[in-house]
Amino acid sequence: MRRRHRHRLLRPLVAFAAVTGIFATATPDADSTPLEGTSAASATTTVFYYTKTKNWPAAYLHYAPDGGSWTTAPGVRMETACTDWVKETVDLGSAAGLQATFNNGSGTWDNNGGTNYALGTGTVTVKDGVVAHSDPCADTGTGTGNQATVYYSTATSGWSTANLHYAPTGGSWTTVPGVGMESACTGWWKRTVDLGTATALKAAFNNGNGVWDNNNGSDYALGSGTTTVKDRTVTAGAADPCAAQAPDTQAPTTPTGVTASATGTSVVVSWKPATDDTAVTKYQLTRTGGTEGTVVTDVGSTVWSDTGLAEKTTYTYTVKAVDAAGNTSPASSAAPVTTGEKAPAPAAGTPLGTDPRKDPIYFVLTARFYDGDTSNDRGGSQDVTSGNAANNDPMFRGDFKGLVGKLDYIKALGFSAVWITPVVLNRSDYDYHGYHGYDFYKVDPRLESAGASYQDLINAAHAKGMKIYQDVVYNHSSRWGAKGLFTPTVYGVRDTQWSWYYDEKNAGFDYDGLTVEPKSGKSYYNGDLWSTSEPSGNTCLNWGKPTGGKSPEGYTLYNCQWPSPTSGMFPKAYYHQCWIGNWEGEDSRSCWLHEDLADFNTENATVQNYLIGAYDKYIDMGVDGFRVDTAVHIPRVTWNRRFLPAIHDRVTQRFGADAAKNFFVFGEVGAFVNDKWNRGSVNHSAQFFTWKERKEYSADDEKAAIEQYDYEEQLGTGNQPTSANAFLNGNSYHTPDRSQFSGMNIIDMRMHMNFGDAQNAYNNGKDSDDSVNDATYNVVYVDSHDYGPNKSSTRYSGGTDAWAENMALMWTFRGIPTLYYGSEIEFQKGKQIDCGPTCPLAGTGRAYYGDHLAGGVTASDFGTVASASGEVATTLAQPLVKHLQRLNRIRRAIPALQSGQYSTDGITGSMAFKRRYTSGSTDSFALVTVTGGATYTGIPNGTYTDAVTGDVKTVSGGTLSVAAPGKGNLRVYVLNGPGKIGADGPYLK
């Protein structure tokens, strides 16, 4: 078997978070043989500083070894090393690194924007603010033997520096991380090396901070002469990729289809994407008219919401497309629009904008949680047949007024984020859950009340320090279409038996979900005719002929009676025209899931603009994030090109870059197997959606989707990107590299599917973390409104002790713990989660929860009850509630449990790990064991205090042992920790 050379970093490499002083090593792969020329530690640091962009006549290094004093300003003068570089070797004594700044000796300083540079040992380079690890003056390739000139592309990785680690055939490897490569041209790095008598070399590349490209562990085989390496493709005898590059002078095509529509004093402008020989990078939107004069705005998507305009004023919009070279298309045709009267300004809403990992999530089906206003309750056409009417339990029962009134209950549990089901106006016969969207621009009035609008809910939550995460659907509309985009004239077969179900056409009726259609006097839902005439374009076989079957009521069923992609009912431009055949195939991204879920053609610009404009509205209201339904059924390239940038741009525009960074988007990528990669299909695996694209595709989104699917499937599971963002380097936290993050985090489906047993969930979760961009953002839950563990159709029924163990793991392991409403009292355990309109909701996992919340409750803080009365006081006294409250208080007090990276190195124990988070003055290090005992070796010495018992252990030899706390219990020993948090309870004691 051919032995692959793998690279082991034995010398500490700097990977710092701003001014933390915490350093870590990073390794691409382990090898049993250390590299020659490396050592475990070094007492010196050689600092190379790049001067070309400074034009300083001299350079000084002003520094302080860790724990030591600063040199006298301006420091020590650095010596010339080679062209554009100076250097200085510093004796650190016993220190493991140094703080440093640079200056020209005459008062001009480079102090890393005021935070200083944190440098480690070995060879360190500082170039234009970027810290890396190589000798930029070594091996310039000027020998008399054979030479290799290597060009390496970082266009898709986004690295800001590159090193070449290599070994000539028969020779030794360079010292990690190798030799620094020089910038050759945009996206390319170059290095010429001497090979002596060898004619080939093995090579790997890295960014100097622990991120490697070693050809998936195989290394690259390169020859002498000129070679290019781009996206793992090696081209031997290549032309210089930077030589005589013809400038890009071709402008993009002119945008077409520009439309502008006004609502009050706001205007939504949309257009079709332009094309370019390389890629369109942005659009320039020009507005003229009014007293503001000409306004030009850069836009990253193909839709723009312009707000705060003058009343009853005509504005004109034109659009130009711009590529990366700055080539600009001619202006589009003008789109004029006249604004209306200014609408009353809604109450202000601003997202809280904090790190989402700090906020455990409570998930509610709004319509089933608490009924604050009975006047908006609705049972719908299935009220009687479902059995809900007999229980006086209409499907639309809970509302925003009820949720606002019980926010203190959720806060008393300890949750600071609430995930709510979709809020847009729905249209179907059983649409209380919110996933049958009809008017995406309108909040469903069955959820709102006077004084309790959606805006009021958002504002009330924010006033309590709680976030609102809105469930959103981009994949499909209801079977009635999407108002404002396309609403079909609905076709089907109607006879007198079905007259109760199919309403006659009523041109004056505008469906709102709340109002009874006056012509029939009975329906809230249809208000339109189901014709007996076959629609043109129908391809549904045997249209209108009896199937031979009967409905539950005994009525005749007809072929094509229900909406379908083949009925000719929906236009191809806006809706897909097929049923899913293979759930792990390409068609799962471009076909219908169900007859009530008309599948959007999300690669169509008009559809994209409709959805982007709709969700801009809710961003503007101040929601704190989106949970994305059915994310896997839209190609990743469409997310990455259109929807995710639109979300980021809108939040940035409205609330700033920091708010955009923490606007939490987490996607449902359904994978119901225990594989790391969903049946070997990367395109249908959750972690796949956390990454940016690695190459350019066709400008046409539909073609791009197919190209991406084929490209990634051919690369396979072994060639997907990996990440160390969730993992500690030894005991040290390192700044995560999120340069390739797509903008979408994920629900941890693999842990969810395996939560029949906490140990199994833990093992499966760890196994996938290296393929997620940053698993510390994973949303983790046991069950939900769809499934229990192992694709069970029932709510979790593993027992109270098992629930306590699951919670103990979720609240201390990486990721964001999430609880489905009522699980704190094992509500409806073992009950079927959803059986549609064939059984009463009261007997399902979506039962009404309000009876358990009757009475009053006030929270004094997260996880703390100030007062409670009535039934809700009984609910809050339950054992799991007490357990949950204390877990939330412990997690809130220990930053390592919120945002920390983790490791199991040097640890024995079944569910045991260490976590650390370092930022600014915060350095939080915790040792966790769930249920079983554990021993931790190689940990920092010091005083550790258990947050559960208050037990204090002093570590002097790097080892700490913990006895088994028991099922549902845990130990959290924190270095220099806060002590015991909360009082002993039924499990934590």
Interval 490-535: pLDDT, tens = 767 767 787 766 666 677 778 899 887 776 666 666 555 566 778 7
What pLDDT does residue 668 have? Answer: 97
Structural contact between residues 430 and 483, judged by C-beta atoms closer than 8 angstroms: no
CA 724, CA 60: separation in Å to the nearest integer?
Answer: 35
- The 3-state DSSP class for residue 917 equals strand
Residue 294 CA from chain centroid, whole number: 37
Extract the residue ranges of the chain whose pLDDT is less than 50: 1-41, 346
Q: Provide φ and ψ at 966, rounded to 5°.
A: 105, 160
CB 356 within 8 A of CB 816: yes
User: Of all helices (H) and strands (E), which one includes residue 195?
Assistant: strand 188-196
Extended beta strands in 510-576, E state: 546-550, 556-558
Nearest residue to 675 via CA among 778, 754, 793: 754
pLDDT of residue 201: 95
Cα–chain center distance at 705: 20
Exposure string (b/e) for 751-761, b if CB count within 10 Å is 16 or more? bbbbbbebebb
Q: In the prediction, which pLDDT does 672 show? A: 85
pTM for this model (two decimals): 0.72
Q: Which H helix or E strand runs over 859?
A: strand 856-861
CA of 265: how far to CAs of 319, 442, 489, 592, 931, in Å?
Answer: 20, 17, 32, 37, 59
Question: Residue 24's pLDDT is what?
Answer: 30
pLDDT (tens digit per residue) in 879-921 = 999 999 999 999 999 999 999 999 999 999 999 999 999 999 9
CA separation (Å) from 935 to 489, 814, 905, 909?
68, 20, 11, 7
